[in-house]
Amino acid sequence: MSIIRSEDSHKWINAFVAIVSVIAGFIAIRFLEFTGQWFELEARISYFLILTQGVGIAVGLGTFFWIKKNKTSSLHLRQVYAELVRVVWPDRETVIKLSIGIMIGVAIVSGILLLIDFISRELLELIY
């Protein structure tokens, strides 16, 4: 059973592109803030904070519209969503059983590594 429906593709693709755009705008703002600190631009430009925020918003909007207008990226996102619709998601019981199995396996492997570490430490103390 798929929890993702094919008729919701436009909504989910737009949400993904919006998230990517927000991240791109945030990265642009942080980059400009660090650049301003390195080169002391905050003291030289009177409205540096407003400028960095404006550039971040412009980068975010530019990213959103560039991804939406680019035919290749739009086609790729539609294909990815179409493939995601075909995924068969496991039920709750299967997820719980597999998670418990993984936790037990990790505990066993960490115990073995702990034992190997203890033995090697003891052998090294005998040598040195």
- Scanning the chain, the segments in alpha helix (DSSP H) are 9-38, 41-44, 48-69, 71-85, 92-127
Per residue in 39-53, pLDDT (tens digit) is 998 888 889 999 999
Length of the chain equals: 128
pTM over 0.75: no
Per residue in 92-117, pLDDT (tens digit) is 999 999 999 999 999 999 999 999 99
Q: Where are the domains of the chain?
A: 1-89, 91-128
